[in-house]
Amino acid sequence: MVLSDKSIKEQLENGRIIIEPVDYSDIQPASVDLHLDSKFLVFTNSRQPYIDVKQSLDGLTELVEIDNESPFMLHPGEFVLGSTTENIELPDDLVARLEGKSSLGRIGLVIHSTAGFVDPGWKGHLTLELSNLSRLPISLYFGMKI
């Protein structure tokens, strides 16, 4: 079952679902718009010749933070990790799905490739697997609906 906007609001009001901060205008008919945080983990492909999944991944990424005015430029073919500004908490009997906004998908921005399932009992900021499939760079802004 997918929760309706009315059910989402009821779950928020009774504290079963927590979204902090929450803006009730972001609640859609059966979803909630979340926002992009200012921090990105960028892969440092100039430091390692390849990714060996059996080895430590320490040092594979570096943290890049943008301010409120300047965008993060996601270049064609680039993959970075981002997160939501919102902290999410789910009860033990509800799951959620992370889906990118279709308007962003139509310009070639993939919001997640594998981690779209949010487990029951989840607490934290959601990780976004951001990829640019277009031939042009895409500007990403702190706080934009993602």
The residues that are catalytic are 129
- The residue whose two tokens read 């029951």 is 120
The residue count of the chain comes to: 146
Whole-number Å distance between alpha carbons of 93 and 85: 24
Residue 121 near residue 90 (C-beta atoms within 8 A): yes
Q: Which phi-psi region, left, alpha or beta, contains residue 108 (left: φ > 0; alpha: ψ -120 to 50)?
A: left
Q: Which amino acid is at 28?
A: Q
